[in-house]
Chains A and B, each alone.
Chain A
Amino acid sequence: MLSRTADHLFWMARYTERAENTARMLDVNVQTALLPQSEDAARQAWRAMLGISELQQAYDRKHESVTQRDVIEFMVCDPSNPSSIIACLTEARENARAVRGTLTTEVWEVQNQTYLDLRRRLHGGQLRADPSQFFEWVKYRSHLSRGVTLGTMLHDEAVHFMRLGTFLERADNTARILDVKFHGTPEGTDARRDFYHWAALLRSVSAFEIYRKVYRDVITPARVAELLMLRADMPRSLLACLDEVVENLREVRNDVSSETERLAGQLHAELRFGRIDDILARGLHDTLTQFLQRIYELGNRVSRDFLVPLAA
């Protein structure tokens, strides 16, 4: 497969996943904002939202204060914010368009339709009228995009590079959410507030019901961390993402990619055989910060090994 084609596929999948993750986080914040809380706490929550995506500075340059409406607008429909949902889905579609001949008709049509509908929805004011419905729609389109890929594409290099994009992006996102939520853990012993805090985190990665099913017990921070980091059967956990990264890397292996495979394998093994007690003892924030750096490095290495055309 052409390096350029692989590059477009990788980023198409990454941007689609990024849009989904942004929608998930925004949705949970909107839900949480419906609960009784102080204005200060609400502002705090929206600021954390910006922090997860490293967007505080860009936001502050455009807005004087942090309000729900402004943050949502900034993260959904501000084209100058490269992480906004509109920017991500536009990029995803442009990448798809560049390689539309490599995609099945169904995959291309899903990307194209998402882009066309997105503009219609934003134009029609759905975001203000019913933000949750809008976020549901973004998530649904992302599910559809992954599903139609697996359901219609030949499982060859094209799919492997898309999966690499999806799971590197997802690993990055899950780690960020965990880090921010742990960082911002409310002090004190307000059990009720704790519950909503952790429940929101779990919901943002569709893990609330899964938590109940796995632990059949009250929600504790350590278990939340374990579920989202070390459970192979939890689809948005770091381990599940690394499972996919390692497997898809193996499928596209070339003459120069062994070091990348080794690094991915090492990170994978640490999660596969890690224990949450050890991680917490060492410090969750440090572990996650390091994890994010290593994921970033893996993304760069994938680009270098496969995607950026090398000179003759």
Chain B
Amino acid sequence: MSADGRVRPHYREFAQWLAQQTPDAIERKRAEADLAFRRVGITFAVYGDNAGTERLIPFDMIPRIIPADEWSLLQRGLEQRVRALNMFIDDIYHEQHIIRAGVVPAEQIYRNAQYRPEMQGIRVASDIYAHIAGIDIVRAGAGEFYVLEDNLRVPSGVSYMLEDRKMMMRLYPELFASHKVAPVEHYPDLLLDNLRSVAPVGVIDPTVVVMTPGMYNSAYFEHAFLAQQMGVELVEGKDLFVNNNAVWMRTTRGPKRVDVIYRRLDDDFLDPLAFRADSALGVPGLLSVYRAGRVTLANAIGTGVADDKSIYPYVPAIIRFYLSEEPVLNNVPTYQCRHAKELDYTLANLAQLVVKEVHGAGGYGMLVGPASSAREIEDFRARLLARPDGYIAQPTLALSNCPTFVENGVAPRHIDLRPFVLSGKTISMVPGGLTRVALREGSLVVNSSQGGGTKDTWVLEQ
């Protein structure tokens, strides 16, 4: 809907179709979708729940529709942002021009828990660090997009983007006949191509693998899915070993050399010799091979230095610094509580703001002012005063709505969009991304671990 309450043009056809559907028919389709997701086993494990508990992520059958011109703007902005972020990480681990120029304060790098001194001076293939980026975006008005968060470590959700599309095409083929929806199914192809393009220098026919922490990880379905779709091995740490300055996997026919590892576990767990000694998920010695440039890790170690909420406010300046361009996509105005004035503003306006932990993730450790009780707000005030540099604050205005099926029919719910941007020799992406939806009325939290759902994202072709 637009501000004046009319259906926006690119939703008109869908709205007409929807008006002709009976609630019963919709309910039947919804049950069919649930059953299919369950049978396919598209589930995610829930931390803190009983071990092995598998849940379905609620799937909403009203697609989020993005017109072609808005997408081309988004695409331009995403390319620009990810290009600049890659240059930033490269610079941080080498000459550090941006620090010397005074654009980003040195303490924001060195006091950042995600900064990896081990990476200082290391050359990575093609100078690419964030091979797969998931950029969370909200829309405020026509052509007005705000980036909420840059996810540069191990962003998840691309399998839901693909499975949601498959489900929609299966349930409502007639809709695809009447809408020109840009396809996204070639994502695994793009990903494989991208991973092969960043193999270590001199490797002609690289062996790519996907590395997972294992089947009890909440995103295990996605890891298995991507490995299968790309036709590469899905490995765990125990399947790999380091020998003779190379990484090998244990196969039924003996060791096989591995060149590119799309790793879906955090830096901390990669190599017990270098990082957490108690990690059984990693590969002892991996870092030494990596530093020698004889294996590629995607994403690179230490990319987290750039997706932290403490760096986020600087991204527009980062874009201007490296590319000498104005940012296409806006940042949500952000108050850094480590600055006294911005802390004062935040404390005075807690009830209107979203306050996030600088290093938090998954929608935990945050305050959503408008949806919080006086007690929760006071509790957060105390936390802010105790450790102001651990928090940032943002206005809540920026989350867009999309019609969504709820208990009592169709109602607006907050959504965001996570497009997946691939960086290799070139930057590529499929049109669209994962749309997450906050299913509870008034909620701004779309994370699946917090009861959020997903819906198919349609980018319309001209």
- A residues within 8 Å of B by Cβ? 1-6, 94, 97-102, 105, 108-109, 112-113, 116, 157, 161, 252, 254-255, 306-307, 309-312
- Distance (whole angstroms) from the CB of B390 to the closest CB of chain A: 38
B40-A2 in contact (CB<8A): no
B227-A3 in contact (CB<8A): no
B250-A98 in contact (CB<8A): no
B222-280 at interface with A (beta carbon < 8 Å): 223-225, 227-228, 233-236, 238-239, 241, 243, 248-255
A267→B252 CA distance, assembly (Å): 24
- Distance (whole angstroms) from the CB of A198 to the closest CB of chain B: 42
A6→B227 CA distance, assembly (Å): 16
B238-A309 in contact (CB<8A): yes
A97-B239 in contact (CB<8A): no
- A residues near B255, Cβ cutoff 8 Å: 312
A2-B251 in contact (CB<8A): yes
A109-B241 in contact (CB<8A): no
The interface centre, meaning the residue of A2, A101, A307 with most chain B CB atoms within 10 A of its CB, is A101
A62→B223 CA distance, assembly (Å): 42
The interface centre, meaning the residue of B239, B241, B250 with most chain A CB atoms within 10 A of its CB, is B250
Q: A100-B228, A105-B40, A307-B252 are in contact. Are A4 and B236 (CB under 8 A)?
A: yes
Candidates A2, A101, A255; contact of B249 at CB < 8 Å: A2
Instruction: State the main secondary structure of chain A at its contact with B.
Output: helix
- Distance (whole angstroms) from the CB of A98 to the closest CB of chain B: 5
Name the residue of chain B whose CB is nearest to the CB of A157: B252
B239-A309 in contact (CB<8A): yes
What are the 10 A-B residue pairs with the smallest beta carbon separation, nearest first? A101-B228, A309-B250, A101-B224, A101-B227, A306-B252, A312-B243, A3-B250, A100-B224, A101-B234, A112-B41
Count of chain B residues near A, Cβ 8 A: 26
Name the residue of chain B whose CB is nearest to the CB of A94: B215
B239-A3 in contact (CB<8A): yes
B236-A254 in contact (CB<8A): no
- A residues near B253, Cβ cutoff 8 Å: 1, 254-255
For the complex with contacts A112-B39, A112-B41, A312-B243, 20 further pairs of A-B residues with Cβ separation under 8 Å are A2-B239, A2-B251, A3-B239, A3-B252, A4-B238, A4-B239, A5-B233, A6-B252, A99-B224, A109-B41, A112-B40, A116-B39, A157-B252, A161-B252, A307-B252, A309-B238, A309-B239, A310-B250, A311-B241, A312-B255
A5→B239 CA distance, assembly (Å): 9
Q: A1-B251, A101-B224 are in contact. Are A116 and B40 (CB under 8 A)?
A: no
Tell yes or no: B38 within 8 A of A by CB. Answer: yes
The interface centre, meaning the residue of B41, B234, B251, B252 with most chain A CB atoms within 10 A of its CB, is B252
A109-B248 in contact (CB<8A): no
- B residues near A98, Cβ cutoff 8 Å: 215
Could you list 16 A-B pairs, sorted by A, with CB under 8 Å?
A1-B251, A2-B233, A2-B235, A2-B239, A2-B250, A3-B239, A4-B250, A5-B234, A6-B252, A102-B234, A105-B40, A108-B41, A161-B252, A255-B253, A309-B238, A309-B250
A245→B238 CA distance, assembly (Å): 28
A161→B253 CA distance, assembly (Å): 13
Interface string of B15-40 (1 = CB under 8 A from A): 00000000000000000000000111
- A residues near B236, Cβ cutoff 8 Å: 4
- B residues near A310, Cβ cutoff 8 Å: 250
- B residues near A101, Cβ cutoff 8 Å: 223-225, 227-228, 234
- B residues near A102, Cβ cutoff 8 Å: 228, 234
A259→B228 CA distance, assembly (Å): 34
- A residues near B224, Cβ cutoff 8 Å: 99-101
- Distance (whole angstroms) from the CB of A105 to the closest CB of chain B: 7
